[in-house]
Amino acid sequence: MIRLFQRNVLLWVIGFTSSAYWGFEALNAMGLSPLYLPSGPLKYVTHALAMLPDGVNDLVVLVAVPLLILLSVHDLLRAPRWWSALLIWFLYTNLMNRAWLAGSGGQQLIANLLFWNIFLSGNRTTAGLDGALGWSFPAFWILRLQVLIAYLATALHKLTGTHWLDGTAMGVVATDPAFGPSWIVDHPLAASLSTWAVLLFQITFPLAVWFRRARYAWMFFGIIFHLATALWMDIPEMGLAFIAAYAIWFDEQTVQRSVPMRRLAGTAGSVSTA
């Protein structure tokens, strides 16, 4: 189950990095983001690439992008080590922060997952919850809570406004040509029902996942919802990031019953959870 989660996240990183950061056009787009540095010494780790002089950071990106993809492919095919997981997080986070204007919640979620995955990654002989750094068990639960907190925070924010409560939010979003689906504007009942369904899903997800049967029903709805946002709202990185994160809540019995998931998970990093 741990291995399935790791491979899901790595596949997301490979796909997103290959599509978003490759080539000089992407470099120019990233350069449009003005320099933003947070306070504190951690900026030298998370924003190291953005702090390099103009021209130099472009050259570094030409190395960082293929290196990130190669490391991700390595950890996809073999059980990840803590040092390779650390490098993947470092490279990904710096590329993301260099192009922060083009960022999304999905990219931020993956950055958090990659950080805590460092502590799930083993040494030469261990992986999964037998991680090399001694923080594997708390990291496992922190990763699980990341998904719940993301949904809960989003739902609570929606409750502070009016459009989600009165059922008009999906209709308002659909009028934006950058999103959609535009047809829902002509069907106010469908717009209202979909608005309330999404709000109810996000409010109840943090509770439903603690019950095994409810967990997979809510995840099934979540997959449909996130695939819909990927197709119609043109934010595939957001939807696919949440779908990739779902695997941290799978139990070993479910993984073993599914041939595709069992093949993707392999045997490393398995753990039995309810």
Banded model confidence at residue 217, pLDDT cuts 50, 70, 90: very high
Dihedral angle sign, alpha carbons of residues 17, 19, 21, 23: positive
Dihedral angle sign, alpha carbons of residues 272, 225, 11, 105: negative
Residue, of 201 and 251, whose pLDDT is higher: 201
Before 80, cis peptide (omega within 30)? no
Q: Which residues contact 274 (CB under 8 A, 6 or more apart)?
A: 212, 251
Q: Mean pLDDT over all residues of the chain?
A: 84
At CA 20, angle to CA 16 and CA 24, rounded to 5?
A: 145
pLDDT at 27: 56
Q: pLDDT for 42-83, tens place per residue?
A: 999 999 988 888 778 878 888 999 999 999 999 999 888 899
pLDDT at 264: 65
Q: pLDDT for 2-56, tens place per residue?
A: 888 999 999 999 999 988 776 656 655 666 677 778 888 999 999 998 888 877 8
Q: Please give the Cα distance from 154 to 159 (Å, whole number).
A: 9
For 122, which DSSP code? Answer: B
Q: pLDDT for 192-203, tens place per residue?
A: 999 999 999 999
DSSP secondary structure letters along 157-217: HHHTSSHHHHT-HHHHHHTSTTS--GGGGG-HHHHHHHHHHHHHHHHHHHHHTTSHHHHHH
